[in-house]
Each structure stands twice: as C-alpha cells, then as structure tokens.
Amino acid sequence: MRDVVGLTEEPGEISAEVVRRLEDRYRRELPLIAGAEQAVERVAERWPLALASSSNRELIDLVLESSGLGSHFETSVSSEEVARGKPAPDVFLEAARRLGAEPTRCAAVEDSENGMLAAKAAGMRTIAIPNPQHPPHDDALAAADAVLATIEDLAPAVVDPS
C-alpha cells in the first residue's frame, strides 16, 4: 500500500490500521459465505479441522469467536506465523503439523487461486470452491482434485471419496 498507493505511513502502521478497520467492520457484520457454518459442521463431525489463512491472527480469532465456529477447529494458522504466505505451502504444512497429521492425509478447501496452489504444493487433496468475485485462473482450478459450484456441495464424500 505504501509503494503502490503512496501512503506515507510505515508498513506496520498501515497493516495495523487495515486490521483495525476490518475488525470494526466484522464486529458490525461478519462476511460469512452463505452455507459456510453448515459445511464446517458437516465436515467437523468426521475429522479434526484446522484453519490455514492469509488473514492476520487478530482477524482469524475475531471471526472464529464471533461466528461461533471456533469450537469446530482444533487449531488455526495465519500466514504471518510462517516463513512464506500462499501460494507457498507453508501455512498448510503448519496446519497439518499442528493437527499431528501427514499433509497427504489432509484435504484443503479453498476459494482463491493462491490458496489452491498452496494446498496442492503441500500435497493435500485440494477442493476448490471458486470465488465468483475473484475467479481463479484455469491453472489453479486444474490443480484442484475437485471443483464445487457452492459450499453447499461440500460433503464428507467430496473430502474423502474412497
């Protein structure tokens, strides 16, 4: 933001202000995808869940707490807690490590291009639910093991088709 937009504040100040504004917004209205809560509940009935996100830790914690979904997740990882963000696999590999699971025995559900590429690079089964506002490129979709039209289609049989 400093280099592209021309803000004069230091990067840390810019980041803190972005987080503050998003926290204010999320406290007024959480931007949850319709059907996300039910999808999390369906999958959490079968497997332990981890959240691997590019969001800041403060935002992850706020969303998990405010949505009531935090109890469904064993752990969460922010890209700020690993060496490299998506599309590098680091955040997914750390999530698997915290779960005590081999990455190849994990599945990742992603809506973003960088997320799909990161999950695949981590060796995880990759389930794409493309974000229509920011559709991923064909190469990211091609990397996915399954592509769903909506989150309502996410079911245990998609996560583990065996």
94 falls in which pLDDT band (50, 70, 90)? very high
Domains and CATH numbers, the chain: 1-31 (no CATH), 34-159 (3.40.50.1000)
Nearest to residue 48, comparing CAs of 121, 97, 88? 97
Integer angstrom CA distances of residue 104 from 38, 96, 139: 25, 9, 21
What count of other Cβ atoms lies within 10 Å of the Cβ of residue 45? 9
* Per-residue pLDDT tens digits for 106-145: 999 999 999 999 999 999 999 999 988 889 999 999 999 9
What tokens were used for 1? 């933001």
Residue 2 has pLDDT above 80, yes or no: no
Read off the DSSP letter of residue 34.
T
CB-side neighbour CA atoms (13 Å) of 62: 19
